[in-house]
Structure 1
Amino acid sequence: MTWVVALCLGLLLPLGHSKTVHIYVSPKGSDGNSGLDVSHPVATLDKARQLLDSSGIKGNTVYVELMGGYHNLHSTLHFTHAYTQPVTFRAYKDQEVHVTGGKQIPANLFTHVTDSSVLNVLPPSSRSKVLQLHLPSAGVTDYGTMSKFGFYVSRTSWLEIFINGLPARLAQYPNEKFLNLVSVPGGRRSRVFTYNSKEDARWVNEKEPWAYGFWYFSWADDGVGISNIDINKHQITLANDTNYGLRIGHYNPAHLAYADNQGGYFRVINMLSELDQPGEYYLDRSSGNLYIWPNTQTGTLSSSDVITVSLINDCISLDRGVSNLNFEGFTLEACRKAGITGAAVHDINIQNLEIRNLGAYGVSLSDSNNVTVSRCDIHYTNGGVNLTGGDRKTLTPSGNIVEDNHIWKFGRVGGVGYNAIFFDGAGNIARHNHMHDGQYTGMWLAGNDNIVEYNHIHHMCVNSTDCGGIIAGRDWSGRGNVIRYNYIHNVVKNMPGAENRGIMLDDQFSGVLIEHNVFFQNQYHTNIGGGRDNIIRYNVFYDAVNYPLNVDGRGILYASNNGTLYDRLRAQPYKTKPWSARYPKLATIDSNHPTYPMGNQIYDNVFYNKRGPNIVEYHGTGLNKTEYYDIHDNFNANPAEFWSPREYDFRFRCSIETWANQNSVPQPININAVGPRQPTGPKYIQTALPQYHSTVHPASCTGSIIG
């Protein structure tokens, strides 16, 4: 009978039953230890990863407990296969844990500069401030190489230095903003240009000068080496071509908002002779000497300062098929490329990390499903979260979610193509994120049925134009995307060139629903760049610099993007189910003037604009047709009819409220309902979430209904 009882007991156990195992890792541990109790931790994350496949651990639910301190990776932490049960790398008991791709340098290895040949190159103001470090004396000999960056280049950085978590930058001129190209003697496709500055007298002895600029368009940046500087002619020769060539610049800080001639502005970087501010550095690769003016409160270094140099490329990489892997509660930093990268992975959870000081994206996972990035603080990177997944052919959603994150200053070295969030595929969700201070676009949206909701987006496009807080572009088939319940503000034009927008539907992007958003103090709040079947409703458009919306008919006027548009359309099964059922207007696009801006609707929105009552600026003639842009039943308000715009409170009052009730238009979202719902990052850096409270109650208001 005992075998019968045993069989019955076995049947009662849940399938996939496993025990829970803890592996402890400490910088003070030893890889000769078992790692299975807190008193005998292993020393490295890679050893912990190896233990995951050992007898007695494999197949169980595992917590890799990272104990306090700096866990410096000697090589990329590389995962090669799926786990049958969840494996979680986390900070042990919320201790302060840093996983780095670099090495800490003792402050006492830095000395004042005494070499007269160096002192003579340094600006007089910094000669007593700059410290030097002989990197080989600190055991560092891999300096990386200066390589092209900007404009969608997947950047691998050279050696960088960070002090107390703050990045230093290569010494540059000017320290802020840019210089104009004055002439381009060899024409657009040459590498030679002149400029108007006598500062170049300082540059004659530079060993490895580079230049960074928006050379032809204000939406395309390039970092390029310099092969020659002629200080007599004030002329630079670049070592390589830029993406679009060179042009004369019209950068004028006093008149940027009115300048339409774009591009043609630059700065020089990697210049010892321009090391004139705290937080700037220069590395002489020939000698191995690093020179830095420390960005500390005292301007010098002490034993309490944490000084880290970046050494390895990717911090963490995941091979195809990796699954059931979680990362929680620590700081990931100081790698020359990505924080976490991989392709075709699934069931990955990245939670409460601080991800900072990287050469590329914080998280970059392509063709992946059921990935969640939540409650992370991502900053001082070159891109926040790059996530693609789902099946566009079948419109199967990815299950990917990016939520409750703080993503800021994510274009640290270069801007264009380094977005806070990039989505492609089907059914990705971005919600409750706070994104701000980007050199270029905040969020780039591609694919189908993605949802962007409850996000707080502001101060984008800092150094570029023809840019947006959210951008989608050049795809008739990218249908079903929804942008709703977001606060988008202060996306304005800081550089010469085309205008910037809160939401930019570029190059005939189509089929987007934009609803329940609040926009204020953007150059334009939203545009429709000649696309089709876009719906804009139930939004508040307050105080645009130009107009609330601008629209055009670029597909009628020229056909430069037609090849891409048709290729992307024909790549999808748009005439058969499920596409034809989900997007019936797309199924008949071939017989209905595909390049015309048909079927756009703008209704039930509330507007206030200092320029006057016009809702839309038309770029082109003959566009004010209802079959193109059907604009109706919108309300033109004045500031007194909102509760308190100064305090981000755009609730309707008086005439707006009456109109809204009559037309079943809901009240705008409360700003406290957007952005992260919980503190972001590891426990040791978390702060309370901001709260906005309205104290003003205006006494009177008027308003009227417009077209």
Structure 2
Amino acid sequence: MQGEPSELFVAPHGNDANEGSARAPFATLERARDQIRVLGTSAGLPEGGVTVWIRGGVYQRQRAFELTEGDSGKGSSPITYRACPGESVRVIGGVIISRFSRVDDESVLKRLKPSVRDRVLSADLSEHGVTDCGTLTSRGFARPVLPAHAELFVDGEPMTLAQWPQSGEFLKIAGFDKPLKDEWGTTTGDLTGGFTYEGDCPLTWEPDDDIWVHGYWSYDWANSYERVRHIDPRTRTVTTHPPHGNYSYRVGQRFYFLNVLEELDAPGEYYVDRRRGRLYLLPPDEQEVPRDVILSILEAPLVALQRVSHVSFEDLTFECSRGDGIVATGCEHVSVKACTIKNLGNRGIVIRGGKNVAVAGCTVFNNGDGGFDIEGGDRQTLEPADHVVANNHIHHIARWSRCYQTAINVHGVGHLITHNLIHDLPHCAILFWGNEITVENNEIYSVCLETGDAGAIYTGRDYTFRGNVIRRNFIHHTGGVGMGSMAVYMDDCVSGTSICENIFWDVTRAVFLGGGRDFEVRNNVFVDCHPAIELDSRGTSDHPVWRRMVMGYMKEQYEKMRPSEPPYRVRYPELAAIEPYFSGTNGVPPEGNVITHNVCLGEWVRIDESAAPLVEIRDNFVDGEPSFCDPAYGVFALGPNSPVVQAGFAPIPVEEIGLVRNEVRTSIPPRVGTRLEHVHRENRNGVLVSAKNLGDSPAEGSLRLRVRRAGVPVPLAFPEWKFTLLPGETASSEFPLEGVDGSVTVETYSKVPDVRPSRLTIALDA
């Protein structure tokens, strides 16, 4: 190794003919990369490595920034691409749209509603160099990840394709033309025959071959987008183009129409006329002409790494493309630190294979698909990948592929998911598939908001997923429609996970064990869960669906791992007890489960009658007061004199859960707890909202209320409540509930990071 660490500089005003110094920077990342290649092949990389300092500004990408094996650093000579201190670097995959005008095309004006005709803006995309806007594709459950269509972002926020009904609302399937029986014997509708709906809006729409529908056609955990073939407004029937969605149509399931010019009627909605190359926008927030407007264009990843090692990216923002942010294939000792990854069409970071890849201290939000999608390790040999996802803040993702595109999705062996804050997702927060995966010290809330029969942490359908640990997580206030949601969902006979030292608060079915074996559920706290733990025995059911799953698919997966041979025979000797059941006719029973030393306030366990004799339940604290520090605001620390500590419960270090301040993440959002109380004064109902600063720095934020009845929003408008709180300080405000009766659920919600939600169900007199 030669000399001192080297520095190169890149700036928007630079020139690739320059020398790459601070005074004469390069213009592109490629030029800096090529200069590092020269260093490596001539004198060798210097001791201490090379830092590419990137000056603040916008870097528009028309292709991926690619690094290959020859662009690697070494252990003592790493290569770092990072923003200059205090400067904002935006790497974007879109085009800035700067020239708007009022709509003057009569053929367009007559399709717009009279109330918005003088407010909708138009831009000629060809004037901005845009010739390809992509197309909408059939995305969703069990569909491949494909580049998104061109999307519009204004002031850093994604706009909404014009739709009916408004964003967040759904229509219901009223019927179908071709009935059929599904695998459960229920009458549903054949997808090729179309479905019927209620409402008259399509009567005003002109025929268009690019109208789409998005729906949960059969189940609340399986969505898809389908292109409309034909709408018959007279019979209110919709048929779609193949490929059709999954399963079948069920009456009462949810859907909406999108990409409809006539429904461009809400601030923040847009429409792209791909034939004419024109963009139409109803500006958000009553802006005359929006300022920061970007249309996503690039389909390739913003950064593509192939067999790279000892390279890191730090303090950069990756945004506004139609594809993934960073894709790392076969890489080792690569890290992404303190980056912001947002407004992408697909996923934030994709890791395929390799070893020791770390994603730390990043903030990820508003992606069309997921946050981090990670594969690595060898399930046959149990060689670990040792990938790490640590201390990231992930929220408001899966804007398009609503199901199974999660904050963190990991496959393989030997991954660590720790100290992440995850919230505001339509479906699951963390999916894991494999062995020796540890999920610990994460805080998760407000997930599964649009789906049902889902879990904040989920895996399923494999007896050989072993050695996994779910430990010291705080999961609270999950959502869910239909069947609701679970905090830890061990689905379809998956087995062998240790679920220990977690806190579950106000969730349905906190720990759900769907017929699996060899679970350890120990030293957890359950507060207001319904129930704390549920266990069924579907593995022994004689229903054809379950029998095919266990004796067919799961037996095949079991045999693939050769559990009678090393390393499985040595690492997981309990697997040997399963094999004899595959030779029988009664299925696989849920044996080997242990539930011990847990604390529960609320409903305790719900266990199938046939499974109850097989479960060991002992030494749990389910009666009495545990003496938590501040449970109303979600602080479930225990003092040394707590009766549960005296009974053998090990206190959970709650202060270590969630984001932590360190050299990578130098600041964390203040933690604000909220609570709701019903107040009744002089025949008037209301709610008292309180907020408490649980952190060690001042907190400034706001929150709103929403009301639901049986899961359906109640149209009440509440003012935004703004607060400023010193550490430990509490403030309150009262809101009336007028014109509401029956049983309703009131919730707090906030766009401010880590203002924890609260929820209260009230029975109101008519």
Query: TM-score, normalised on structure 1?
Result: 0.87
* Distance change >3 Å, CA 156–CA 552, structure 1 → 2: same
Does structure 1 retain, via aligned residues, the 8 Å contact 2:67–2:306? no
Residue 429 of structure 2 is aligned with which of 442, 451, 456?
Answer: 442
Residue 335 of structure 2 is aligned with which of 346, 349, 353?
Answer: 349
Q: Report the Cα offset of residue 391 of structure 1.
A: 2.5
Does structure 2 retain, via aligned residues, the 8 Å contact 1:680–1:686? no
Q: Which moved more, 1:113-122 or 1:66-75?
A: 113-122
Give the secondary-structure state (helix, strand or coil) at the position aligned to 1:480: coil
Residue 496 of structure 2 is aligned with which of 491, 499, 511?
Answer: 511
* Distance change >3 Å, CA 456–CA 57, structure 1 → 2: farther
Aligned length: 648
Q: Report the Cα offset of residue 540 of structure 1.
A: 0.5
| Equivalent residue letter for 1:181 | I
- C-alpha offsets along residues 558-587 of structure 1, whole Å, 9 cap, x if unaligned? 313122212222222422333222211013
In the alignment, structure 1 residue 193 sits paired with structure 2 residue 199 = no
Residue 624 of structure 1 is aligned with which of 612, 616, 619?
Answer: 612
| Equivalent residue letter for 1:315 | P
Give the secondary-structure state (helix, strand or coil) at the position aligned to 2:37: coil
Give the secondary-structure state (helix, strand or coil) at the position aligned to 1:447: strand
| Equivalent residue letter for 1:53 | R
| Equivalent residue letter for 2:349 | V
| Inter-partner Cα distance in structure 2 for 1:476 and 1:399 | 22
- C-alpha offsets along residues 606-633 of structure 1, whole Å, 9 cap, x if unaligned? 1111xxxx52223x442211x2x22222
- 1:540 matched residue in structure 2: 525
- 1:677 matched residue in structure 2: 660
Q: Report the Cα offset of residue 337 of structure 1.
A: 1.1
- 1:171 matched residue in structure 2: 162
| Equivalent residue letter for 1:624 | A
| Inter-partner Cα distance in structure 1 for 2:43 and 2:423 | 43
| Inter-partner Cα distance in structure 2 for 1:309 and 1:155 | 18
- 2:261 matched residue in structure 1: 272
- C-alpha offsets along residues 464-509 of structure 1, whole Å, 9 cap, x if unaligned? 111111001111111010001100011232x23x331000000111
- 2:183 matched residue in structure 1: none
- 1:521 matched residue in structure 2: 506
| Equivalent residue letter for 1:440 | H
| Inter-partner Cα distance in structure 2 for 1:553 and 1:635 | 25
| Aligned positions of 1:1-400 closer than 5 A | 16=1, 19-35=4-20, 37-55=21-39, 59-60=45-46, 61-82=49-70, 83-85=72-74, 86-106=78-98, 109-152=99-142, 153-175=144-166, 176-187=168-179, 188-191=189-192, 192-250=194-252, 264-295=253-284, 297-302=285-290, 305-381=291-367, 382-400=369-387
| Equivalent residue letter for 2:263 | E
Q: Which moved more, 1:593-602 or 1:535-544?
A: 593-602
Does structure 2 retain, via aligned residues, the 8 Å contact 1:353–1:682? no
* Distance change >3 Å, CA 110–CA 46, structure 1 → 2: same
Bigger RCO of structures 1 and 2 (CA < 8 A, at least 6 apart): 1
| Inter-partner Cα distance in structure 2 for 1:681 and 1:522 | 32
Sequence identity, in percent? Answer: 30
Q: Report the Cα offset of residue 135 of structure 1.
A: 0.2
Give the secondary-structure state (helix, strand or coil) at the position aligned to 1:48: helix
Give the secondary-structure state (helix, strand or coil) at the position aligned to 1:49: helix
- 2:452 matched residue in structure 1: 465
| Equivalent residue letter for 1:394 | T
Residue 490 of structure 1 is aligned with which of 455, 477, 483?
Answer: 477
| Inter-partner Cα distance in structure 2 for 1:695 and 1:320 | 51
Does structure 1 retain, via aligned residues, the 8 Å contact 2:660–2:668? no
Give the secondary-structure state (helix, strand or coil) at the position aligned to 2:320: strand
| Inter-partner Cα distance in structure 1 for 2:280 and 2:569 | 62
| Inter-partner Cα distance in structure 2 for 1:418 and 1:639 | 39
Does structure 2 retain, via aligned residues, the 8 Å contact 1:229–1:236? yes
- 2:708 matched residue in structure 1: none
In the alignment, structure 1 residue 589 sits paired with structure 2 residue 578 = yes
| Inter-partner Cα distance in structure 2 for 1:319 and 1:658 | 54
Q: Report the Cα offset of residue 443 of structure 1.
A: 0.1
Does structure 1 retain, via aligned residues, the 8 Å contact 2:64–2:304? no
Give the secondary-structure state (helix, strand or coil) at the position aligned to 1:324: strand
In the alignment, structure 1 residue 598 sits paired with structure 2 residue 591 = yes
Does structure 1 retain, via aligned residues, the 8 Å contact 2:93–2:302? no
| Equivalent residue letter for 2:94 | G
* Distance change >3 Å, CA 592–CA 246, structure 1 → 2: closer
- C-alpha offsets along residues 377-402 of structure 1, whole Å, 9 cap, x if unaligned? 00001101111212223322222110
Q: Report the Cα offset of residue 18 of structure 1.
A: 5.7
| Inter-partner Cα distance in structure 2 for 1:539 and 1:242 | 43
Give the secondary-structure state (helix, strand or coil) at the position aligned to 1:559: helix
| Equivalent residue letter for 1:134 | D
Q: Report the Cα offset of residue 520 of structure 1.
A: 0.6
| Inter-partner Cα distance in structure 1 for 2:43 and 2:283 | 46
Q: Which moved more, 1:340-349 or 1:402-411?
A: 340-349
Q: Report the Cα offset of residue 688 of structure 1.
A: 5.5
Give the secondary-structure state (helix, strand or coil) at the position aligned to 1:370: coil
Q: Report the Cα offset of residue 542 of structure 1.
A: 0.6
* Distance change >3 Å, CA 575–CA 640, structure 1 → 2: closer
Does structure 1 retain, via aligned residues, the 8 Å contact 2:302–2:318? no
| Inter-partner Cα distance in structure 1 for 2:665 and 2:110 | 45
Does structure 1 retain, via aligned residues, the 8 Å contact 2:267–2:286? no
- C-alpha offsets along residues 543-565 of structure 1, whole Å, 9 cap, x if unaligned? 02x31121111110031312221
Q: Report the Cα offset of residue 680 of structure 1.
A: 11
Give the secondary-structure state (helix, strand or coil) at the position aligned to 1:438: coil
RMSD (CA atoms): 2.3
* Distance change >3 Å, CA 474–CA 482, structure 1 → 2: same
| Equivalent residue letter for 2:141 | F
Query: TM-score, normalised on structure 2?
Result: 0.81
Give the secondary-structure state (helix, strand or coil) at the position aligned to 1:335: coil
- 2:620 matched residue in structure 1: 634
Q: Report the Cα offset of residue 248 of structure 1.
A: 3.1
- C-alpha offsets along residues 215-273 of structure 1, whole Å, 9 cap, x if unaligned? 111111101101111111111111124332432333xxxxxxxxxxxxx2111111111
Q: Report the Cα offset of residue 364 of structure 1.
A: 0.5
